Amino acid sequence: MSPDFTLLFFPELMQSPMITFQATLCVLLFTLMFTLLFTPGGLPWAWARPRPIIPGPVTALLGIFTGSTPHRALSKLARNYHAEKLMAFSIGLTRFVISSEPETAKEILGSPSFADRPVKESAYELLFHRAMGFAPYGEYWRNLRRISALHLFSPKRITGSESFRSEVGLKMVEQVKKTMSENQHVEVKKILHFSSLNNVMMTVFGKSYEFYEGEGLELEGLVSEGYELLGVFNWSDHFPVLGWLDLQGVRKRCRCLVEKVNVFVGGVIKEHRVKRERGECVKDEGTGDFVDVLLDLEKENRLSEADMIAVLWEMIFRGTDTVAILLEWTLARMVLHPEIQAKAQREIDFVCGSSRPVSEADIPNLRYLQCIVKETLRVHPPGPLLSWARLAVHDVTVGGKHVIPKGTTAMVNMWAITHDERVWAEPEKFRPERFVEEDVSIMGSDLRLAPFGSGRRVCPGKALGLASVHLWLAQLLQNFHWVSSDGVSVELDEFLKLSMEMKKPLSCKAVPRVSV
């Protein structure tokens, strides 16, 4: 501001040193307020040190995670701010960055600086900070990854559990037939969820349950309550002062659930201990369950009982809904695209003939079926924001210029990437053929499609999850034509809870195809 300008418009400011001081103070305060109120990303970015200038909305996005499609809202915002590479935003006191572009996403997920996860209150209360998914990056977490890679997710283990997986698939087929004969239509969600739960239970606990009765029903209830608690948006996570009040009752419900889980999972561990004392424990690495593996480690004083419960409980959580939800979306697509369904069935018939049930050994030859699963993962990724975010463990530079301060939550909007026309041609179109034309790896090396995440914390259950989805989809397609129910349309609206579910669960007809 020139002295002439000041004299002309604010003559009183030039009158005394005291007034000049006050004016300077006013200007400073105004500048400070302006900076605080208009910092890209919102207020928590204003006092961040270092303070990068990353594009983003200046107002806090209070409601963003309370809506049903935050991945869509964040994608739109990133476009509006030309911030696909990196966008800053905030909720309450929490600073976020989100990437909607493959290169920056890869940098974030691959960097050891983002190898921690922010632990929300519900995860903490449900003891998940002692399990693999939320454990801080360090020796304890590394140990859990090593143990599970060796004993739960190794190719040998996955092959070893093939016959049970196939049995689960056949039971699912029976359940679909039964429901169809009773109701003339089938809501697949419950059947898929229970089957997936049973499958994980067998792998982890060495135990399976009957549909909708006894212990199976109790377990289903515990898992559903846990999903809800982990999926709910909890204001206390972003406004710590509210943590005291527990206004949404999340803490209270978590504590109540943890007590029940301790009794249930503690009971399963006890059963294993008793069996071992009687010398009945399965020692074969290919077929023994994960509880036995952990109990063997316990001898060497590796995991406490509480830690074991947390680790086992988490596996049930992570392994169940993702698989069931992916299958539900795939079947919905089969109903909507009869020509794609028919092509997959022709492939199954070609590989298996007309009288042999499809088995896991056939999957490598069912290339088109695999492409259908890939395309479903692209269009409807179960974790559109890659489910569980990452946390910057120290100040870290991203994209060569933005220094992200320690404690910032980093996310990748996988949904935005897989729906970006600059990355995928005609992204809204469901076209499995795109993967026949170009073989894209979905295991985390190519961030154009990384539904299982990438880097150190990539999903360890990806091969097991895919094996289940491929086999069950093949069994369901071999046995039924999936068609829409009279007067009931298939709606593709989404609802992001812990995973991205169908807002209106799929209800359709399963018409028996061949007798195999």
Q: Is 459 annotated as a binding residue?
A: yes
Closest CB to ligand HEM among residues 169, 382: 382
Cβ–Cβ under 8 Å, residues 471 and 168: no
Tell me the closest approach of the beta carbon of residue 465 to ligand HEM, in angstroms.
Answer: 3
Residue whose CB is less far from ligand HEM, 454 or 475: 454
Q: Which segment (94-102, 282-290, 295-303, 453-461) binds ligand HEM by CB under 6 A? A: 453-461
Taking CB under 6 A as the rule, does residue 52 contact ligand HEM?
Answer: no
If one asks whether residue 109 binds ligand HEM (CB under 6 A), the answer comes out as: yes
Region of 89-97, 219-227, 240-248, 312-320 interacting with ligand HEM (CB under 6 A): 312-320
Question: How far apart (Å, rounded) are the C-alpha atoms in residues 487 and 405?
Answer: 54
Residue from the set 41, 201, 461, 474 that interacts with ligand HEM by CB under 6 A: 461
Residue 98 binds ligand HEM, judged by CB under 6 A: no
User: Of all residues in this chain, which one has the CB nearest to ligand HEM in the complex?
Assistant: 453
Q: Which residues contact 206 (CB under 8 A, 6 or more apart)?
A: 272, 282, 288, 289, 291, 292
Report how far apart, in Å, the C-alpha atoms of 181 and of each of 89, 107, 185, 212, 487 are.
51, 52, 8, 18, 18
Query: Cβ 328 to ligand HEM, closest distance in Å?
Result: 11
> Considering only residues 56, 57, 383, 432, which one is a binding residue for ligand HEM as defined by CB under 6 A?
383
Residues 6+ apart with CB under 8 A from 468: 165, 196, 199, 323
Residue identified by tokens 């691959």 is 110
Q: Provide the β-strand partners of residue 511.
A: 481
Query: Considering the complex, what minimum distance in angstroms separates the CB of residue 445 from ligand HEM?
Result: 12
Q: Determine which residue in the list 209, 227, 290, 388 makes contact with ligand HEM, applying CB under 6 A.
A: 388
User: In 348-499, where do the E strands start and end?
Assistant: 390-391, 396-398, 402-404, 409-412, 480-484, 494-496
Q: Which stretch binds ligand HEM (CB under 6 A): 45-53, 354-362, 423-431, 445-453?
A: 445-453
Nearer to ligand HEM by C-beta: 351 or 464?
Answer: 464
Q: Does 258 bind ligand HEM (CB under 6 A)?
A: no
SS3 509: strand
Identify which of 349, 479, 500 has the alpha carbon closest to the alpha carbon of residue 415. Answer: 500
CA 330 to chain centre: 17
Residue choice 123, 460, 471, 501 for contact with ligand HEM (CB under 6 A):
460
Between 305-336 and 462-479, two packed helices, what is the crossing angle to 10 degrees?
Answer: 40
Q: How far apart are CA 187 and CA 198, in angstroms?
A: 18
- Binding residue count for ligand HEM, defined by CB under 6 A: 29
What does the alpha-carbon distance between residue 313 and residue 487 come to, in Å, rounded to a whole number? 40
Q: What DSSP state is assigned to residue 261?
A: H
Q: Does 387 bind ligand HEM (CB under 6 A)?
A: yes
384 binds ligand HEM (CB under 6 A): no
Among 457, 470, 480, 508, binds ligand HEM (CB under 6 A): 457
CB of 453 to ligand HEM, least distance (A): 2
Give the separation between CA 111 and CA 456, rounded to whole angstroms: 8
Q: Is 200 in the site for ligand HEM (CB under 6 A)?
A: yes
Enumerate binding residues for ligand HEM (CB under 6 A): 109, 132-133, 145, 200, 314-315, 318-319, 322-323, 326, 382-383, 386-388, 451-455, 457-461, 464-465
